[in-house]
Every structure is written in C-alpha cells, then in structure tokens.
Amino acid sequence: MASKKASVHKQNMHKNGGGIFPAICRVLGTLILLAVILIAIPLAGPRLMGYDAYSVVSGSMEPEIPVGSLVYTEVIAPEEVTPGMVIAFDLNGEVVIHRVVANSLVLGEFTTKGDANQSEDLEPVKYDALIGVMRYHFAKLGRWYLIFSTKLGKIYLGILAACGLMFHMLASQIISRRKEELAELEKERGEVPEDNAVSEEKKKKKSNDKTSIILRIVILILLIVFVVSAYNVIHIQRGYKEGEQLYEQTANKFVTPKQNKPKNGSNAPEVTTITPEGEVVVIDSEVPITVDFEALKAINPDIIGWIYCEGTVISYPVLHGATNDTYLRHSYEKKYLISGSIFIDAANESDWSDSNTIIYGHHMKDGSMFATLEKWCDQDYFDAHPVMYLLTPEQNYRIELFSAYTTSATSDTYTIYGGPGMDLDSYLAKMSRQSVVSSDVTLEGDAHYVVLSTCAYVFENARSVVHGKLVPIE
C-alpha cells in the first residue's frame, strides 16, 4: 500500500511540473527580472516621457535637493522660466542644477544661485545653455542612477536580465523532460492507446528535440555569461582588497606621522583660513608626516612625491610615467593592480616646475584612491578639509584648495601651462569661477598649482576636479 501511494505521489509530481527545483528556478528568475524592471524604470521610463535624468553630486542645492538625489528635468522655453524655478544648464561641459533668481528677457540670460551658496553664481546663464527645468527629484536614487547609467552598468543590467531568463528556461527544460518521462511511464503501463501513443510520440519528438537543443544552447550561453560575470565581480572585489592592503602596508612602512605637530600657542607660525561663514580654521603650519623617499625611490625611481590629506583616505605615492597609461593599472611596484597609482600627466615636468601639474587617480567603488574628490564639492566638507600636503624629495608643500567642480574630460581644465603669463591668469580665474564652493585662497600668477582629477558618473566622460595652490613649507 505504501509503495502504491509513493508511486501515485511521484506521478502527481510529474503532472504538476515535477518537483520543487523548477519552482525555485522560476521564483529566482522572476525576482531577478523584477529587480531589473525596478532598476530600469527610473532609467528609461522618464526618458520615454520626455524627461532627462541627472544625479546630484554636490551640496549646492541642499537641503531641498541633497547629494545623491536623482533629478528629472523637462525641456522648456527660456521665456517661460520664472524666478524660483530650479533649472539644469550647461557650464563648460558640466551640468549644473541651480535655482533661478531672475530671468532677463532683454539680455536673454538667467541669474542663478545654489540654495546652499551664500551668493549668486558669478556668471549669468545664457538662454542657449538651458537644458531644462526640474520637475521631480528623489533622494538617494541618484547613486543607483550613476552606477547603471554607465556603459558597464548597462552591460551588467543586461547580464542580470539574461540570468533571470536563464532560470525560467532551465525550469521549462526540467518540466519538459519530466513530462516526457511521464509520457513514457504511461506508455509502459498501457494507459495511452498504442496507435495514439506512437503517432503523438513521432509528432512531438521532432519538435521537442529541436526545442530542447535550442534551449540547452541558450542556457549554456547564459550560464557562461553568468559565470564570467560572477568571476569578474569577484576579481574586481579581490583587486580592491589587494590595492587597499598594498597602500596600507606602504604607508605603514614608508610614512611616519609626526608626534609633535605644532599646536595653537606654540612658537611655530600659525596658518589660518576663513570659511564663507566667517569661521576661522587653524591649519597645521608643518607637514604632519615624513616620508622615506630614499627607500621608495630604490623600489621605483618614477616616484616623485607623496600626497596626503588628514582625516581622509588620501595618502599615496605620486608617480610620473612615460605615458598616462604606465601607472593607470599598475602599482608603484610596477605590478598589475586594478586601482593603479596616483600619477601626474606624462606631459608635466617631474620636478613640479610647471605652473600647473595635473594629478590623476582612479575613482574606486570602495572609496579609495581619488574617489573622495567629489566630496569637496560640498561646502561643509571643503571647509573641514581646506588643505592637502604634497611631499617631494626636494621640497614639501601645503596644497591650499580653492576650487572644486565636475567637468568634461575634454575641457580646458586639462590645459598645462609651463610658466606664468596672461593665459595662466585667465585660466586660474576661470577655474575659480567654475567652482561650486567658495574659498579665500589668493591666486598669484607666479605660484605653482595642482589639478586633482578623477572619474565622475554624472554624465559621459565626466570628471571630478579639485584645484589647489602649492605653498612651500620651510
């Protein structure tokens, strides 16, 4: 009796699609596809309705529009824009989202201001720079948009969708096989008339065989894609860990914090800066660390300095390669490393004698290297970290930061000036005007400057940029 019950139960399982495994596959496939749809809706849906989407990376519109928000804009005639509206406009290749203070129909331009900024934007916005007016904004969704709006993000989104389909196809394949087994079982028991069984089997066998082969090929392809993608994710995460460990060990080995840094009230000269709110911030007048360049250059003579910022992850050797690809994916030990190195433009002089030197670093997803540069677009963060330090074998410098913004990789931000002159003066004035934060640093034509640059994900080929003035420390 027990054997008969077991047989009936097994037969019912086949009739119902055959067991729990295909059901699990279908549930997983459905959940993955739903996740893809939920991610794709804020990316593609509004565009189909005529909206453009932008992620907010600076705090100039806080508290109404916080950093990390997703903003949707709609095209509008410039004449229809009224004071109080929030607009998106192009500023030297960068998309800026600020509030309209005034609309001059006569001059064909807007006066704009960030809600968190103390003063209006320095330059008016011409009508032809208008992108659209903000219609909706959603907090925190901007970071997801940044990830999946890139080419790599879209590829992974497609792979995720393919994995969802793979689970559904796998479930269908299992169910189909089990139905065939059930048909064979019924045929053996004589439950299906012989003539009918033979004719049905011949008709279905060809169709099932072709379908089965196609399904298996598709599943195999999707499985390979899934495995390769999973490997890449694991490889990237492992690379992040290797980079973190390498630079942590490097700092521990070659960098020594100064135990007795000058404090307020000591004999060392006091350096101060004033925030836009009038708050006085005291800055260390000496470099807070020492670096063993002799040992570092014994490992790699391309090491020309060390960049450091207190209270942040920035503490890395700086290199100068033959090309800008030399240390893009290689460590200072010349070994492959996904996070690469911090390095100056190959066209710059290695002795920091150019009027402006461009320093590059990756924007790593784990927050390492130059990923934190975008934080300097927030006035509060900028005020809390107004300086960095550049140490070199010959001279140490305090980097007094004066500008932060997002720009295009092809903008004139990346122009190198070998010496002082009117062109450099114009460049410095323009870079200062482009800043989304305020600073009291005095710009001098005969001084030397650095441009810190990393990738941003606001638009295609976007870059987060921070400018600083090099002040020698005696």
Q: What is the pLDDT of residues 329-381, one digit of tens each?
A: 999 999 999 899 999 999 999 999 999 999 999 998 778 899 899 889 888 88
DSSP for 161-177, please give it: HHHHHHHHHHHHHHHHH
pLDDT(86) > 90: yes
List pLDDT tens digits, range 166-198.
Answer: 788 778 777 777 777 777 777 666 655 555 555
Task: Tell me the backbone φ, ψ of residue 128, rounded to 5 degrees.
Answer: -75, -5
Residue 408 DSSP class: E
Give the alpha-carbon dihedral of 134, 143, 150, 410, to 10 degrees. Answer: 70
Q: Is the pLDDT of residue 307 over 70?
A: yes
Nearest to 157 by CA among 39, 251, 273, 71: 39
Q: How far is CA 15 from CA 29, 96, 172, 312, in A?
A: 22, 61, 14, 62
* Residue 18 clears pLDDT 60, i.e. is over it: no
pTM value surpassing 0.95? no
User: Considering only 71-75, 140-144, 254-258, 316-320, which range has the smallest mean pLDDT?
Assistant: 140-144
Q: Which of 37-46, 141-150, 424-433, 439-448 has the lowest mean pLDDT?
A: 141-150
Residue range 205-218: mean pLDDT, rounded: 65
Cα–Cα distance measured from residue 445 to residue 192, given in angstroms and rounded to the nearest whole number? 96
Residues 324-333: b if buried by 16+ CB within 10 A, e if exposed = eebbeebbbe
What integer best gives the mean pLDDT of the chain?
81
Torsion angle (degrees, nearest 10) of CA 433, 435, 440, 445: -50
**Residue found under tokens 């529009």:** 65
Rounded Cα distance, 141 and 131, in Å: 21
3-state secondary structure at position 422:
helix
Residue in the block written with tokens 């849906």: 45
Closest CA to 91 of 123, 136, 56, 54: 123
Phi, psi of 94 (to 5 degrees): -105, 140
Q: CB-based burial of residue 406 (10 Å sphere; 0-12 exposed, 13-18 middle, 19+ buried)?
A: buried
Mean pLDDT computed over 70-99: 89
* Mean pLDDT, range 125-149, rounded to an integer: 83
Q: What is the largest CA-CA distance in the chain?
A: 108
Residue 32 half-sphere exposure, CB side, CA atoms within 13 Å? Answer: 20
Alpha-carbon gap, residue 53 to 457, rounded angstroms:
12
Residue 318 structure tokens: 């700086």
User: 151 exposed, middle or buried (CB, 10 Å; 0-12, 13-18, 19+)?
Assistant: exposed
Which structure tokens are listed for 49? 């309705």
